[in-house]
Amino acid sequence: MNTEYSMESDFEKFHIHSLEDFFSRDDNELIDATNFPRNELIAWKQRIYEKHFPSILSADKLVSRYCLTGIPLLDRLFNGGFPAGTVNEVVGPSTACKTHWCLSMVAANLLADSRFEAMYMDTNQSFHHSRLLKMVKAQQGVDTLAPDAIRSLLRRIQVVSVPSWTDFWNKLTRLNECMQQHPVQLIVIDCITTLIRREYAASSHAAFIERSRVLSLLVTRLKAVAETYNLTVVLTNQPTTKFASSIPGPLVAAARGERPYDSRQVPALGPAWSHFVTTRVLLQFADSRRRELVLAKAPMAACVGFQFQVTNGGLLADEDSLNYREDVDPTCPTLRTR
Amino acid sequence: MSSDDLFECSPADKLVKELYGLPGSGKTQLCLQLSVNVQLPEWLGGLEGGCLFIDCERTFILERVKQIITGTQHHLQKFPQNSARMNDFTMEKFLSRIQVCRCLEVVQLLALAHSMNELIEQKNIRLIIIDSLAFPFRCAFDDLNQRSRALNQLSYLLQAAAERWKLAVVVTNQMTTRIKQGSQVVPALGDLWAHTPQVRIGLSKTATHRLAKLVKSPVEDENEVPFCITEDGIRDVQL
């Protein structure tokens, strides 16, 4: 047996372009390409399968890890919090308190575990250290924090400013370097929509295709990061206007000169994105004074909603207002703005 | 027809079944329920075997599976003829019979499909679940021809495993928008894939309950069955 040809580094010799290409060819095509005798080919294939065979664990050996959500009622509904390995979306209109909630989530986790580390990827300068510390003080019920305590907290949060898509992508693809020094358990991306809209506005059909391609890359990368490092990703999303007659998006409708006779606010980034996120949480306005949180998609809990108040320490749920919200469409829920 | 009849996983038919639906329609919840049900005795609708849960989207959430197992245990206690075997149905035993495989990439999925015979035999696997098949295939391929070929390979391997080991295969699929004289939401992965599963069930959600629609089957007529998702798992609903 010719053991030189044991790994995919030799694919080029045989004009096999990639692993996907290798896997999509049948035995006869591979024999034509490699000139291996059949038994050598089978042994070669077996070595490649063994190399890429995924790990398998029985469910009783799985260890569940989660991040606190910062809202005790939601932690109870989720039996712990947002599970590790998942990508969770918080979507809401402007002033719905998405950033406030993300900060309170970070604060709650930093306080609950002295080894907890988080990363905050900030696309539009929403993060301020003073705001986080104010939240920590409110959650602990104290007026001041000792300098050591402040240092310990701030040392455990990596704030990364990512004003452009390139900055964001570079950081996301180089996480290995950061994780070696700071084993982060929670990554907050606030706000993913700003990045996409800045550089991939879907104003024509070609631009829409490009945006879909970029979203597909983003989806793969985020899932890989969450899975590889067993961490939780929470990202914020904004609404977009969905017109009754527009395909594929509102900007295209405007470019065609269509008038928005019938429109509603729905989460941006499209319906394919809705498949991808593990959890979708809506933050919206029940009416001009009351705010509500609705679980549009949550495999860990039923689709419920409750009202909340905004406090210095985060979002305070009104537990008596908890009710089932089976009427909410997880793919394209209508967001209630103020 | 009850939801048990619709979702029944019988070894005799060796079929590949597809569940498709919009996000939040209940595909994963059904898969989690099936991963528990397959372990039950045959007279309760199970196959007395283990499950290989191929998790492509990190949807296998342990806490939710434990809730479903607890609900199943309550259900089992209603049957006195089962009392002697209750030791086989503790939480640990239920969990130990579900093999969870996290696959992020198509190559991992295909490598697994090519080499899973030993695992199936050792762990008495009677049900293979892939949740969801759409995610790795939609993200990995720019070349649609290559995607179709890889999908065909995987389909062949799943069907071969179903026939050789007399097991059931359940695969979940996402939805995509097809733009052709207007826009239509259809199952993802294209028309070629649509021919592969022998049974196709579309899941949807109304304001009060959920619906499972049997759209393709070699033995049954088209049918629609309401069901609900409770804390204990999937249950019938009387309308």
Q: pLDDT grade, residue A2 (50/70/90)?
A: very low
Does the pLDDT of residue B12 top 50, yes or no? no
* φ, ψ of residue B2 in degrees (nearest 5): -100, 170
Q: pLDDT grade, residue A151 (50/70/90)?
A: very high
B193: amino acid identity, one letter? W
Does the pLDDT of residue B2 top 90, yes or no? no
CB pairs under 8 A between A and B: 165
- pLDDT at position A8, please? 65
- pLDDT at position B11, please? 46
CB-nearest to B208 from A58, A297, A326 is: A326
Residue in A closest to B103 by C-alpha: A54
Does the pLDDT of residue B143 top 80, yes or no? no
Residue in A closest to B27 by C-alpha: A299
Q: pLDDT grade, residue B192 (50/70/90)?
A: confident
- Check CB contact under 8 Å for A54 and B112: yes
Global pTM value: 0.87
| Rounded mean pLDDT, B215-226 | 82
Residue A267, chain B, CB below 8 Å: the answer is no
**Measuring CA to CA, which residue among B118, B131, B10, B120 is closest to residue B60?**
B131
A window 182-211, beta carbon within 8 A of B:
none
How close B129 comes to chain A (CA, Å)?
Answer: 14
Does the pLDDT of residue A22 top 80, yes or no? yes
